Amino acid sequence: MIREFPLTLSRFIIENQASHQGAAEGFSSLVTQVSLVGKLIAQDLRRAGLLDILGSTGDTNVQGETVKKLDAIANDAFVKVFQHSGYVCALASEEMEKPILLPGNWPQGKYILLFDPLDGSSNTDNNMPLGAIFSVLMHDRSDRLPTDEELMRRGTQQVAAGYLLYGSSTMLVYTVGQGVYGFTLDPGIGEYLLSHERITIPDKGKIYSANEGNYNKWSGGTKRYLDFLKINDKATGRPYSSRYSGCLVADVHRLLLGGGIYLYPGETDKPEGKLRLLYEANPLAFVVEQAGGRASTGTSRIMEVEPKKLHQRVPLMIGSRRDVEQAEAFIQGRV
């Protein structure tokens, strides 16, 4: 609920600076830069149909996917805002094959920023929601830049994470490990205002989000779980409603506020699924866990998965704690 006197993101940051100590100290300036990227992209998206920014660039990215013009624009915005900021020493993006390590003659900070610059790319050309996801790690060596291996850390080592949501309004939602806060961009004054204080996810929801077109590619356990959600049983709140926007950030945001589960499971011929561990699953897991929810591969906690590759994919089940636990029980054959 918005306060009588709105609290701007910058004011919130100043007021909470004292509690952002230790690992997250200095993160405040970094989040301001993320919010700037959000303003730049939101500005373009508001006029997307009028500018030459829709459609594809004609290239494919490191994942073998078609690069949309907006993917490239959003990636550039992150790189340009952060390269000279002095807050980061390395940047890694879902859209870039190799990380950018900032050489000694550039201003350098102690943070590593991993990001998905534009989430839900298939929504770019039809005015549907989009997002961006970021994960922050700390590099505590001032004598040298991080190695590729030092960028590949378990989600439990994140010092902060969050997302930008470009929906009917633009939002920035983040955590530094002390709860989850959401800010809505007021385009009239160009400021983010605190709109969602200490977000907590309901323990159980009534919605599932999954691309059910893939049903026949799923494992038996995943299929049985989806079938279970559709059974009519008033006492346990079933059937669940199905909602899927094609934008992970938008779907997870809905669950964060109202509860339920998002699933992008592994497939029989693609057991690792589609989503990226470092750019998507880990940061969203940090946010959702901080709100009281759960994030799992189906067999283990997302934030404890040991990354082997920068662009590693992982099956993802995320949302209300009890819903995710139930999905795990089906996937592990315990139900």
Which amino acid appears at position 95 of this protein? E
Note whether 247 binds ligand FDP by CB under 6 A.
Answer: yes
Q: What is the residue-wise DSSP string for 161-189?
A: EEEEEESSSEEEEEESSS-EEEEEEETTT
For ligand FDP, which residue of 35, 121, 170, 219 counts as binding (CB under 6 A)?
Answer: 121
Site track for ligand FDP across 260-289, x = CB under 6 A: --------------xx----x---------
In the list 120, 146, 182, 265, the residue contacting ligand FDP (rule: CB under 6 A) is: 120
User: Three-state SS for 130?
Assistant: strand
Is 93 a residue that touches ligand FDP (CB under 6 A)?
no
Determine which helix (DSSP H) or strand (DSSP E) holds 264, and give its type and residue range. Answer: strand 261-264
Among the residue ranges 114-122, 136-144, 169-177, 186-194, the one whose residues contact ligand FDP (CB under 6 A):
114-122
Whole-number minimum distance, CB 51 to ligand FDP, in Å? 20
Nearer CB in complex with ligand FDP: 138/207: 207
Instruction: Write the secondary structure of 210-258 as one string of H (helix), E (strand) and C (coil).
Output: CCHHHHHHCCHHHHHHHHHHCCCEHHHCECCEECCCCCHHHHHHHHHHH
CA distance 299 to 180: 25
> Judged by CB under 6 A, does residue 211 bind ligand FDP?
yes
* By CB under 6 A, residue 167 contacts ligand FDP: no
Comparison of 95 and 110: residue with beta carbon closer to ligand FDP: 95
169 vs 211 by CB, closer to ligand FDP: 211
Task: Tell me how many residues contact ligand FDP (CB under 6 A).
Answer: 11
Nearer to ligand FDP, 211 or 299 (CB): 211
Q: How far is the CB of 137 from ligand FDP (least distance, A)?
A: 20
What totals of helices (H) and strands (E) does the chain contain, helices first? 8, 15
- DSSP secondary structure letter of residue 4: S
Applying CB under 6 A, among 17, 60, 122, 169 the residue interacting with ligand FDP is 122
- Answer for the pair 212, 265: CB distance below 8 angstroms, yes or no: no
Phi-psi region of 275 (alpha: psi -120 to 50; beta: other; left: phi over 0): beta
248 contributes a contact to ligand FDP by CB under 6 A: yes
Distance of alpha carbon 163 from alpha carbon 131, whole angstroms: 7
Instruction: Report in angstroms how near the CB of residue 127 gets to ligand FDP at its nearest.
Output: 15
Residue of 237, 246, 245 lying closest to 320 (CA atoms) = 237
CB of 187 to ligand FDP, least distance (A): 24
* Residue nearer to ligand FDP on the CB measure, 280 or 289: 280
Handedness of CA 112, 179, 32, 35 (dihedral sign): positive
Q: Does 117 bind ligand FDP (CB under 6 A)?
A: no
Which residues in this chain contact ligand FDP in the complex, by CB under 6 A? 119-122, 211, 246-248, 274-275, 280
